[in-house]
Chains A and B, each alone.
Chain A
Amino acid sequence: DIQMTQSPSSLSASVGDRVTITCRASQVIRNDLGWFQQKPGKAPKRLIYTASSLQSGVPSRFSGSGSGTEFTLTISSLQPEDFATYYCLQHNTYPWTFGQGTKVEIK
Chain B
Amino acid sequence: QVQLVQSGAEVKKPGASVKVSCKASGYTFTGYQLHWVRQAPGQGLEWMGWINPNSGGANYAEKFQGRVTMTRDTPITTAYMELSSLRSDDTAVYYCARGNLADWGQGTLVTVSS
- Name A's B-contacting residues (CB within 8 A): 34, 36, 38, 43-46, 49, 55, 87, 89, 91, 94-101
Contacts and interface: CB of A to CB of B under 8 A. Distances in A.
Interface size class of B (residues with CB under 8 A): 10 to 19
Interface of B: 35, 37, 44-47, 49, 59, 61-63, 95, 100-102, 104-107
B101 A97 contact: no
A44 B44 contact: no
B90 to A, nearest CB: 17
A91 B33 CA distance: 12
Contact of B100 (A34, A38, A87, A99): A34
A46 B35 CA distance: 14
Contact of A43 (B44, B61, B62, B95): B95
A101 B102 contact: no
